[in-house]
Chain A
Amino acid sequence: MSGDFSAFKAMAAGISALVLVTALAPTVSGGSFDPMRALKTKGGKGPGSGSTTTDPTPTPTPTPTPTPTPTPSTNLLYPEMDIIPSSFDINTELTTAPVPASALPDVVGAFRFICNPGHLAYDDPIVYPGQPGRSHLHQFYGNTGANADSTYESLRTTGQSTCMSPLNRSAYWMPAMLDGRGNVVRPDYIAIYYKRRPQSDPKCSLTSGDPKAEGNCIPLPNGLRFVFGHNMLNPTAPPTGSLYFDCQGSGAVPGHYADIVAAAKNCPVGAKLGAIIKAPACWDGKNLDSADHRSHVSYAGYGTWGYLKCPSTHPYVIPGFTLQAWYTVDESLDRSGIWEAGKTKTWTLSSDVMEGMAPKRPGTTFHADWFGAWDNNVMSMWTDNCINKLLNCSAGVLGNGKMLKQFSGFSWTANPRLVPVPSAS
């Protein structure tokens, strides 16, 4: 009996040591081991039991085609959806690439790529899930199958991608740009940059001893989704995302313009009008969504303490991305710098002018949505290399000698550039 008990104690000690090592071990480069995901509850979903924020609730997803069996994993540190492997050999979507240069003197590693515009739909799988046609018109990027019925599972297992490769089946969307003449103006391209401090940076851990730590750095949790920018549900709240409009090209006067009207005054025909917004990079570590689709994430700030830090309520630092949508300017964009509601015919976002609401100054309702659905192996590649090794990665380069393939048919100009907006059926 005593022998059995001694063996039990030894086993328990071994398990405890394993847990401790797993929690404290640094991330192994190459994406093959992530201590943050080493232990994860199978079938995990957004938690938050007892909190006032929304817990994403799984619903049955009709899947006539067989879906791959999710790889069970457990995560003791924070909850996230189970890993869902890509339904194809990821190596068929990767090609070789040189390892890029360091991102120094920047303190953040960067992973950048360019997307073409995707489909348009009156859908919003975050704000109006399961309710097709309920939303204002959205311009989608990334997953070509994203719609009102999209879930993490459906995004992970279906759809092509306008963001280089289906290894990134995430969905990004924003209000469609309307030209005031019955057309949608599709952007030529969308530039996306993911950035974060390397995990080895003392500022990436609240227990490192660095008094100016930003938070606890982690990869993007599986299943996270959020809305940012102008708050359509609380229009008087200040917009998040440091959003602005810009103009680049021949004859352009670049700047951080508050709205389309101001930018247009400095943006001649043939130049490109840019809409730029930053996604939140601080996460509460508990919820993959929330009632307002924003409260579970936040932005780092300098506050009264004088250094960049995530709020204590959102202590996890995730790779944050900047989204830039660039549109070729034509004569339909009023460039007078003057806008009169109901009178000036010019470009607006679909959310600026909605039935039953007074028209808003063009561009002032700019917001964006994101529903993450990266292939986990590939996400680990760019997180472990571009981010954690402080590299300067562009064009889908993953930092480990590989890069994303580019889908056939990529174009630097939107084709078609204008699409008629259909009226109600």
Chain B
Amino acid sequence: MAWAASIGACSPSAPVDQELQKEEAERQALIEAMEHHPALQNGTGDEATGKAINVPTTIRPKPKGNDGHQGHAPDPHSNHM
């Protein structure tokens, strides 16, 4: 049975599973680090808290006739910095 287990460990899905686990572990570590950011600690994070921001959630209607079709190549000379 040991040989069956080692074949399973070498299956094509094993490296993908390991990669998935590593990615998820990295994401969870970031979440945990953010949760421990001083600004997110109740009652103690004022010095680490920045200003409040204003994020508009209403969307300006799309002008009629503009279908947002990006099939056309943009004018390369219209780019500006």
Contacts and interface: CB of A to CB of B under 8 A. Distances in A.
Nearest to B81: A56
B38, B39, B67, B77 interface centre (most CB from chain A within 10 Å): B39
Interface string A382-413: 00000000000011110000010111111000
B37 A162 contact: no
B79 A289 contact: yes
Contacts, number: 188
A151 interface: yes
A118 B55 contact: yes
A81 B81 contact: yes
Interface stretch (A33-41, A312-320, A350-358): A350-358
Contacts of B66: 122, 133-134, 424
Given A93-B50, A118-B55, A354 B79 contact: no
Given A355-B69, A395-B33, A122 B79 contact: no
Given A356-B69, A419-B57, A421-B59, A45 B29 contact: no
Given A248-B24, A423-B61, A425-B61, A144 B50 contact: no
B30 interface: yes
Interface in A251-280: 254-256
Interface in B47-78: 47-64, 66-71, 73-74, 76-78
Contact of B49 (A132, A135, A184, A408): A408
Given A56-B81, A424-B61, A425-B62, A136 B68 contact: yes
A160 interface: yes
A122 B68 contact: yes
A206 to B, nearest CB: 28
A341 interface: no
B49 A394 contact: no
Contact of B80 (A130, A135, A324): A130
A356 B65 CA distance: 12
B73 A233 contact: yes
Interface residues of B, number: 48
A162 B56 CA distance: 12
A193 B56 CA distance: 26
A421 B27 CA distance: 30
A58, A184, A291 interface centre (most CB from chain B within 10 Å): A291
A220 interface: no
Nearest to A406: B39
B27 A57 contact: no
Nearest to B50: A405
B34 A422 contact: no
A256 B14 CA distance: 14
B81 A408 contact: no
B37 A59 contact: no
Interface in A297-312: none
B27 A324 contact: yes
Contacts of A136: 68, 70
21 contacts: A57-B79, A59-B80, A114-B31, A122-B60, A129-B79, A161-B53, A235-B71, A256-B20, A354-B70, A355-B68, A395-B30, A395-B33, A395-B34, A397-B33, A405-B50, A406-B39, A406-B40, A407-B51, A422-B59, A424-B61, A424-B63
Interface of A: 45-46, 54, 56-59, 81, 93, 95, 112-114, 116-122, 126-137, 144, 151-153, 160-162, 164-166, 184, 186, 191, 193, 223, 232-233, 235, 248, 254-256, 288-293, 324, 350-351, 354-357, 394-397, 403, 405-410, 416, 419, 421-425
Interface of B: 16, 20, 24, 26-27, 29-31, 33-34, 36-40, 45, 47-64, 66-71, 73-74, 76-81
